[in-house]
Amino acid sequence: MKKLFSTKEVAKFLGINEKMVYSLISEKSLPATKITGKWLFPRHLVEQWIETNTINYPEPSTSLPPYNGLLILTGSNDPLLEETISLFNSFHTDHIAVFGNMGSMGGLRALRQNLCHIASSHLLQENEEEYNFDFATQELDRMPAVVNFCLREQGVLLKKENQRNIRDIADLAGPGVRIVNRPMGTGTRLLFDRELYKNRISGEKIEGYHHEVHRHLDVGIEILLGHADAGPGIRPIASLLGLDFIPLRWERYDLLITKEKFFDQGVQLFLGFLHEKAFSEAAEKFDGYDIRLSGKMVFPHE
């Protein structure tokens, strides 16, 4: 089991007094769980919370060279994005698009470090209405261009037989239930942990909570092979693998591009491809995608 801080220990770790810890729980969403009347703080979640709220990063020592035909995308993985990259490469033979699966937060960090042209992200904000803007503001010096790739349905993937009779998030805490999870820093994990918190469930008590795989497809395969009863994921994977699905919410899955790279030839070609018939036909192969906003700029609601 991963280390749990007590209130006194987390206060010492953060260099603050214990009274301030309670304020951070209520005001700044410091990760915490209450067990037998006492607050406990998973160290790995506290460390992620610190990193997520870090500002004033040092300037990157390297930057991407001028665009020369290689388009680099990093961030959150998605089956439709993978299909689109493959189609893009077949349509634009003078260009090569490649993808690095790093999770949403990893994609933003790569964008900050000038390691990619486009970052894919679906990080749900505290208001549970918007996506990505607050995280981009915290991670980058200035707001990047945000273009929607698709809307997609997030939820929980399940075995078709569903022998554990899992009907909602609360049932994942039932006896004998084993799950597979996504890594910290992914938008799917962020949503999943938030839903567990709403249902007053400690992930540490669920078997398989720390069994992490790096793609939505991998979650589905683990369930299909009988290695887990359930796991967080998107409906398109349930559709692809014939799994059951508990819906949680539709989310906005965006592409983030710095203003300096927005008009690079490869970036513009890729964004333009989202309006092509080949893209819409690829999306129609799956259940759980909505492409009405695809290729359109999105902005924070005032």
Let me know if the fold of 70-150+251-290 is the same as that of 154-249: yes
pLDDT tens per residue across span 208-224: 999 999 999 999 999 99
Query: Where do the domains of the chain lie?
Result: 4-52, 70-150+251-290, 154-249
**CA atoms of 240 and 219, how far apart (whole Å):** 12
Cα angle vertex 139, ends 131, 78, to 5°? 50
Residue 126 carries which DSSP code? Answer: T
Note the CATH number of domain 154-249. Answer: 3.40.190.10
- For residue 23, pLDDT beyond 90: no
pLDDT tens per residue across span 238-254: 999 999 999 999 999 99
Token pair recorded at residue 297: 């700029």
Q: What is the pLDDT of residue 278?
A: 97
**CA atoms of 133 and 169, how far apart (whole Å):** 27
What SS3 class is residue 223?
A: helix
Residues 6+ apart with CB under 8 A from 43: 2, 3, 4, 5, 13
**CA atoms of 146 and 29, how far apart (whole Å):** 25
From the options 1.10.600.10, 3.40.980.10, 3.40.190.10, 3.90.1150.10, give the CATH code of 70-150+251-290: 3.40.190.10
What SS3 class is residue 54?
A: coil
pLDDT band at 55 (very low <50, low <70, confident <90, very high): low
Token pair recorded at residue 99: 């993808």
Token pair recorded at residue 101: 């699966």
**CA atoms of 42 and 4, how far apart (whole Å):** 4
Q: pTM for the whole thing? A: 0.80
pLDDT tens per residue across span 89-113: 999 999 999 999 999 999 999 999 9
Which of 256, 237, 258 minimizes the C-alpha distance to 188?
A: 237
Handedness of CA 140, 146, 150, 153 (dihedral sign): positive
pLDDT tens per residue across span 255-288: 999 999 999 999 999 999 999 999 999 999 999 9
Residues 6+ apart with CB under 8 A from 176: 164, 207
